[in-house]
Amino acid sequence: MLSIISLKVWVKLLPDIKLLFIDKAKSQLVAMSTENTSQYFRAAKTLNILINIVIAMLLLFLILFIIVGVLAHFDPGFEDVLKESDKSGMVTSVGGLMAGGILGGSIILAAYLYVAFVVRAIVKTTVRGNPFVSENISRLRKTWIIIALAEIVRMLASIIFNNGAANSVSSETVIGVEIRLQAWILVLFIAIMAEVFRIGLELRRDQELTV
């Protein structure tokens, strides 16, 4: 008799217990999602700081390149200083080559600086909590195209520079091109990310227009 009464009490209490557990689980889920969101924002803010440091370093390098270029152009003695600092003694004339190197380096640095600004804009949208916007797709597309172009410029500059240096010390013509696999993997990765963003945006629009 007692067991029947206790069973009845349990049956009566069951919905309340169920509710209690469901509410607890729900609140835990909410707490977890809030924690994840705060971690996500922290990561995005750290990325923002890192990208600002990268921009500052790239700007510094670009300014240095420009100063070296200007000095080499206007100060005839500067080239001698560079020649004296060359311990190997293999390169006898660096004037034209150095100008080409500075020009190529400046173009590449400017391209990477532009990429860094574009990445910063993407990171800013992430900090705001809304990275799946159409602007980010075009930004990512711009990024991989610019990195690919910068890599092509670097390859061309290295061909010119290496051939020039080789011709200055020997009559043999050496044509060599260095293909940096990591740069092309990066280009491929960013191109894929742009497509992922495009699909993400489509999914988001679908979700927004689901009633």
Partner 1 sequence: MGIRVNLDRILLDRRMSLTELAERVGITLANLSILKTGKARAIRFSTLEALCRELDCQPADLLEYEPDENGIANAAE
Query: Which residues, at least 6 apart from 144, have a Cβ–Cβ distance to it below 8 Å?
Result: 187, 188, 190, 191, 194
- Report in angstroms how near the CB of residue 211 gets to partner 1 at its nearest: 5
Contact letters for partner 1, residues 105-134 (x by CB under 8 A): ------------------------------
Q: How far is the CB of 209 from partner 1 (least distance, A)?
A: 4
* Whole-Å CA distances, 108 to 37, 80, 146, 186: 37, 26, 9, 16
Q: Which helix (H) or strand (E) holds 14?
A: helix 2-74
3-33 burial string, b = 16+ CB within 10 Å, else e? eeeeeeeeeeeeeeeeeeeeeeeeeeeeeee
CB of 208 to partner 1, least distance (A): 8
Residue 138 to residue 33: CA distance in whole angstroms: 30
Q: Between 173 and 210, name the residue whose CB sits nearer to partner 1.
A: 210
C-beta of 16 vs 206, nearer to partner 1: 206
According to the binding rule CB under 8 A, does residue 45 interact with partner 1?
no
Segment 167-206, which members bind partner 1 (CB under 8 A)? 205-206
Nearer to partner 1, 178 or 206 (CB): 206
Nearer to partner 1, 85 or 207 (CB): 207
Residues in the chain: 211
Cα(113)–Cα(115) distance, integer angstroms: 5
Size of interface with partner 1, in residues (CB under 8 A):
5
Q: How far is the CB of 192 from partner 1 (least distance, A)?
A: 23
Name which of 42 and 205 has its Cβ closer to partner 1. 205
Quote the least distance from Cβ 149 to partner 1, whole Å.
34
d(CA 123, CA 132): 11
Interacting residue with partner 1 among 4, 5, 181, 211 (CB under 8 A): 211
Q: Are 116 and 51 in contact (CB under 8 A)?
A: yes
Taking the complex as a whole, the smallest distance from the CB of residue 206 to partner 1 amounts, in Å, to 5
- Give contact residues for partner 1 (rule: CB under 8 A): 205-206, 209-211
